[in-house]
Amino acid sequence: MRLNKFLAQAGIASRRGADDLIKGATVTVNSMVEVNPAYQVQNSDDVRYDNKRVKLGLKTRVILLNKPNGFITTVKDPLRRRTVMDLIQTEERLFPVGRLDKDTTGLLLLTNDGELANRLMHPKNQIPRIYKVEIDRTFRRWEVNRLATKVYIGQKEWGRAEVVQQEQIKGRATVLLRLHHGKKREVRRLMYRMKRKLFTLERIQFGPIHLGDIQQGEWRDLNAKEFQTLNKLNS
């Protein structure tokens, strides 16, 4: 098994995160620093990260957090800003599946299974996410069509979103948007390009998992049915 996959399955990090850890010379195999993510781990190998032995066999855990405003999506922050990990009372090593901006609220999954996280985050799998945005006005028909096709969002990137539902109440509109990509700050960049004033942004669904009525700052483990449906995605 490749070293990066081994670390991911052990819950150290996602596959991409494991690549960074290995290339950063933080992983040893049989007391020697190993910087090749493709190294084939043998059963007899002593693999260590941060001088702690890495073993397989962890029970996969996935939790759902309703992320509040003002928290950054990272495990550790060198600037000592508040992170989503400050909200979770567990000593188990967990890491976020993807990211939500500091000022974005809503559904965030965290897990100890790097392989699962890698599948859920990989762009080729196009797992849908639904966001609820509050903006100043709804989209006209031609704008809905444009959003569904593609919109230039800067930095040589194009964004795309499907308008699922929209409703105007006085000076604010509530719109549900479905995205399949996950580019950095994509929804915010789309709203800027579509000349909409964005008041709030909340993720309410990730694949088959719904945010539900869990309060901001609270979290729970996925139930067996949720975990089963999530684990089947692009497996």
List residues with catalytic annotation.
101
Q: Is 90 helix (H, G, I), strand (E, B) or coil?
A: coil
Q: Residue 139 corresponds to which tokens in the numbers above?
A: 């989209």
Q: Is 173 helix (H, G, I), strand (E, B) or coil?
A: strand
Residues 6 or more apart in contact with residue 144 via CB below 8 angstroms: 163
Residues 6 or more apart in contact with residue 76 via CB below 8 angstroms: 83, 85
Residues 6 or more apart in contact with residue 143 via CB below 8 angstroms: 194
Task: Tell how far CA 53 is from the center of its chain.
Answer: 27
Q: Quick one: CA torsion of 191, 197, 200, 202, rounded to 10 degrees?
A: -10
Give phi and psi for 164, each to the nearest 5.
-85, -40
